[in-house]
């Protein structure tokens, strides 16, 4: 029988401790018998509203827990499966909210196909996100909604709440997680930036997504993996040295499952993101040209909580923080740096005691029951001490 590499006991050379050997054997046996150690069962949910590339779900209360308070709506980014919010049992933001009795809703988009190639960003900003907000509010008894958007889901949410065309949406607060606003501050794109304008809008990338009708799933999966290339290369070593750590192995399995279920981008939307975000860096100025109008982030009038991941390569802290001075009409803007990369900051093991606690604190502060006693406009734009900051010793 081959020896399994394990983390050694300090001061004991390469010899693993007996409990490590037992844990490793248990994990290997569980992997062989059940195919893995992660509990990937999704939280139970019910479809309450749907439309073109729009499915709104309500997560059913757990056990004898009674729902109370304002609802939360989780906005999924394009191309990513909704498991970003429900990664695995024990590391699921959905599970956290449901267990706490928070009415929890999520909007996802289903499979994107070639027939959806003409759908642009305005479909999400004008129809998908506003409809999901209204559906969640109505299902929760007309209470205002705390919107939470990760990555592109955060950008869609920002644009929706800034757009005057959306009307008076029942929103209590907005939380933006890992959404890059100033693309010039993303080092990952620096080597490619000189090439973006080389072909004057008719380069191989443009011709490629026009021909394919968008960015296909295999390409999206490959691009996501490429952003964590160092982890991908060292993954076999990490697995071998943590074979006794069930939590570590479960997290790796869950992330692999998430990555394997990436979704395609519609062609027109991909083109808008490529030309206006990657090349034009429009949002850095706080405005965005969409269809026949200009959307100004300065028109957002709800409180906004913004998270940047300490080791996020896709949306580095400076690129995310750039949104703070643009939110000039928001009654309060709070910025937090939390542990983790692009996905880890949302649903990594450390998120349970940092990101999630800060969300709880924020939602409680801006909930209907507390709003009458919450001072509005006080110390606006200043970073406040929160559960996440205290957990990091800040």
**Could you tell me which of 361, 283, 352, 346 has the C-alpha nearest to residue 309?**
346
Instruction: Report the C-alpha gap between 2 and 359 in whole angstroms.
Output: 46
Statement: residue 132 has pLDDT above 90: yes
- State which H helix or E strand residue 142 sits in: none
In the predicted model, is pLDDT for residue 152 greater than 80? Answer: yes
Q: What architecture does CATH give domain 45-189+286-391?
A: 3-Layer(aba) Sandwich (3.40)
For residue 234 the two structure tokens come to: 């060292």
pLDDT at 23: 47
- pLDDT at residue 271, rounded to an integer: 75
C-alpha span between 120 and 89 (Å, rounded): 34
Q: What is the mean pLDDT of residues 58-69?
A: 90
- The confidence band for 165, taking pLDDT boundaries of 50, 70 and 90, is confident
Residue 216 has pLDDT above 70, yes or no: no
**Amino acid 190: pLDDT:** 54
Summarize the confidence of residues 287-306 as an average pLDDT.
94
Q: Reply yes or no on whether the pLDDT at 15 is more than 60.
A: no
The answer to whether the beta carbons of residues 165 and 299 sit under 8 Å apart is: no
166: tokens are: 């959306």
pLDDT in tens, 68-100: 999 999 999 988 889 999 999 999 999 999 999
Beta-strand relationship, 293-296 and 287-290: antiparallel
Residues 6+ apart with CB under 8 A from 359: 93, 148, 175, 305
pLDDT average, residue stretch 294-314: 96
Instruction: Quote the pLDDT of residue 255.
Output: 86
**pLDDT surpassing 80 at residue 50:** yes
Give the domain ranges of the chain: 45-189+286-391
The band of 326, judged by pLDDT with boundaries at 50, 70 and 90, is very high
Q: Is 93 helix (H, G, I), strand (E, B) or coil?
A: helix
Task: Identify the CA nearest to 162 among candidates 181, 188, 138, 143.
Answer: 181
pLDDT at 160 over 90: yes
Q: How confident is the model at residue 111 (pLDDT cuts 50, 70, 90)?
A: confident
- Rounded to whole angstroms, the Cα distance separating 363 from 174 reads 9
The percent of residues above 90 in pLDDT, for the chain, comes to 50
Tell me the mean pLDDT in the region 199-203: 50
Tokens representing 290 are 């969409």
Residues in the chain: 394
* pTM metric for this prediction: 0.79
Q: Quote the pLDDT of residue 31.
A: 54
Which of 185, 157, 16 lies closest to 75, judged by CA?
157
- In whole angstroms, what is the distance from residue 279 CA to residue 261 CA? 28
What does the pLDDT read at residue 230? 43
Percent of the chain with pLDDT over 70: 68
Is the model more confident about 242 or about 167?
167
Residues 6+ apart with CB under 8 A from 227: 188, 313, 314, 342
Average pLDDT of the segment spanning 201-218: 46
What does the pLDDT read at residue 381? 46
CA distances from 101 to 66, 94, 138, 193 (A): 6, 11, 18, 46
- What is the average pLDDT across 370-377? 46
User: Average pLDDT in the 27-54 region?
Assistant: 77
Q: What does the alpha-carbon distance between residue 148 and residue 129 come to, in Å, rounded to a whole number?
A: 11
Does residue 25 or residue 107 have the better pLDDT?
107
Q: For residues 129 and 54, give the distance between their C-alpha atoms in angstroms, rounded to a whole number.
A: 9
Residue pair 181/187 in contact (Cβ under 8 Å)? The answer is no
């Amino acid at each position: 029988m081959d020896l399994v590499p394990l983390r050694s006991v300090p001061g004991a050379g390469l010899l693993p401790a007996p409990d490590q050997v037992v844990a490793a054997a248990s994990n290997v046996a569980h992997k062989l018998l059940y195919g893995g150690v992660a509990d990937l069962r999704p939280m139970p949910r019910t479809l309450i509203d749907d439309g073109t590339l729009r499915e709104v779900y309500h997560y059913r209360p757990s056990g004898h827990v009674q729902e109370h308070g304002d609802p939360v709506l989780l906005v999924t980014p394009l191309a990513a499966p909704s498991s970003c919010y429900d990664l695995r049992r024990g590391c699921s933001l959905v599970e956290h909210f449901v267990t706490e009795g928070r009415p929890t809703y999520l909007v996802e988009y289903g499979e994107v196909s070639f027939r959806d190639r003409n759908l642009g960003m305005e479909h999400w900003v004008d129809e998908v996100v506003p409809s999901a907000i209204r559906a969640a509010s109505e299902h929760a008894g007309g209470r205002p909604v705390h919107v939470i958007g990760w990555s592109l889901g955060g950008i869609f949410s920002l644009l929706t709440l800034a757009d005057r065309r959306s009307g008076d949406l029942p929103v209590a607060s907005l939380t933006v997680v890992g959404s890059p606003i100033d693309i010039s501050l993303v080092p990952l794109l620096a080597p490619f930036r000189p090439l973006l304008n080389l072909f004057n809008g008719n380069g191989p990338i443009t011709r490629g997504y026009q021909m394919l009708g968008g960015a296909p799933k295999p390409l999206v999966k490959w691009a996501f993996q490429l952003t964590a290339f160092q982890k991908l290369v060292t993954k076999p070593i990490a697995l071998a040295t943590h074979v006794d750590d069930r939590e570590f192995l479960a997290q790796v399995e869950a992330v692999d499952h998430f990555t394997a279920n990436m979704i395609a981008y519609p062609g027109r939307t991909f083109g808008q993101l490529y030309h206006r975000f990657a090349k034009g860096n429009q949002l850095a100025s706080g405005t965005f040209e969409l269809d026949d109008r200009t959307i100004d982030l300065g028109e957002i009038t709800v409180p906004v909580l913004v998270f940047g991941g300490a080791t996020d390569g896709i949306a580095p802290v400076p690129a995310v923080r750039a949104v703070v001075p643009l939110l000039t009409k928001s009654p309060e803007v709070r910025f937090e740096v939390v542990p983790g990369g692009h996905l880890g900051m949302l649903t990594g093991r450390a998120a349970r005691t940092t990101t999630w606690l800060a969300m709880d604190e924020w939602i409680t502060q801006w909930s209907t029951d507390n709003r009458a006693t919450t001072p509005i406009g006080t110390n606006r734009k200043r970073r406040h001490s929160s559960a996440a900051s205290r957990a990091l010793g800040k």
